[in-house]
A and B are shown apart, each in its own frame.
Chain A
């Protein structure tokens, strides 16, 4: 079986973090819409009430979950800390149930608990910094970079020279 046939028979399973209708969501949709191979998606929506619950991509959606983002505007650090722990347990459960091949986090702070859980479960992870971050990483990007949580980090530098 050649590699193209193998890919068609074996869809890549991706857990997508950072959804909810904003800029990160738009970036995730654009990335995955451009991918030319079968995908099975597990979508994680965040925001005060999951944010805007929509997905315009054409790939197969295996499951979708709504969680509260660990840190929303106006949250105290204490709330953020407990939110992060709660998200970590949710991430462990979702990742162990679906066992995706890859976790794709776009910009969102929610990538942190999912990437930590992914490390425990040996799931590879790609972090995409928002394209609005031209000269420096966001706080989330810096944390992920310093701790070494992601297998690959894509920054504006990846496309800035095009």
Chain B
């Protein structure tokens, strides 16, 4: 099964392209379209789900937008991943992220939608690098070695006053 996910923001171009490619393959394709206006007609689709990990686990190949949440989660599972930058997002920042991830063999970066069909065929020979992604070593180290200073632990005198500021808080249970 090929699972396609666009994350939280619409990415109609990707949904449309995969819907077209669905006519050329017998492989099942499922698309998560978020609030996109394009509705696939040749394959299954849904808008959002709280159990997206189930789809990641069942898929033989995942095609995704270049958001960090999706990319990192899929890479940890080790499923082959083809990613595309969603050009409608601010600064097109996914482009740089995906270039870097591709340069380290974590994924295949599809720069042009017209190439997507060929990349899907090539993915059979693609070996995803699934080792632990250790991007956060520095901050993890800094938090682990963070010293709780007793002087700063003592609340400043104005904290008690500020705790009475008229702000509405909505406490929730996780």
Contacts and interface: CB of A to CB of B under 8 A. Distances in A.
Interface in A7-30: 10, 12, 14, 21-23, 25-27, 30
Interface in A29-68: 30-32, 34-37, 43, 45, 50, 52-55, 61, 63-67
B137 A162 contact: yes
Interface size class, chain A: 35 or more
A145 interface: no
Contact of B174 (A54, A133, A154): A54
Nearest to A41: B174
Contacts of B134: 159, 162
B152 interface: yes
A97 interface: yes
Contacts of A104: 143
B107 to A, nearest CB: 14
Interface size class, chain B: 35 or more
B159 A99 contact: yes
A37 B158 CA distance: 30
Contacts of A55: 174
B106 to A, nearest CB: 12
Given A93-B163, A121-B156, A63 B100 contact: no
B159 A134 contact: no
B139 A96 contact: no
A90 B169 contact: yes
Contact of A35 (B7, B94, B97, B144): B144
B8 interface: yes
A96 B162 CA distance: 6
Contact of A122 (B93, B152, B169): B152
Contacts of B99: 134
B124 interface: no
B29 to A, nearest CB: 24
Contacts of A101: 146, 148, 152-153
30 contacts: A22-B67, A30-B136, A31-B139, A34-B136, A35-B144, A43-B174, A45-B172, A63-B171, A65-B170, A65-B172, A66-B171, A67-B170, A93-B167, A99-B153, A120-B158, A121-B162, A122-B152, A126-B142, A128-B136, A128-B139, A132-B66, A132-B93, A132-B96, A133-B96, A134-B96, A134-B100, A152-B139, A152-B142, A154-B136, A159-B138
Interface of B: 7-8, 50, 66-70, 72-73, 91, 93-94, 96-97, 99-100, 134-140, 142-144, 146, 148, 152-153, 155-156, 158-160, 162-163, 165-174
Given A36-B144, A120-B162, A138-B93, 15 more contacts: A12-B143, A27-B72, A34-B140, A45-B172, A63-B171, A64-B173, A65-B170, A65-B171, A67-B169, A89-B165, A89-B167, A92-B162, A101-B148, A132-B94, A156-B100
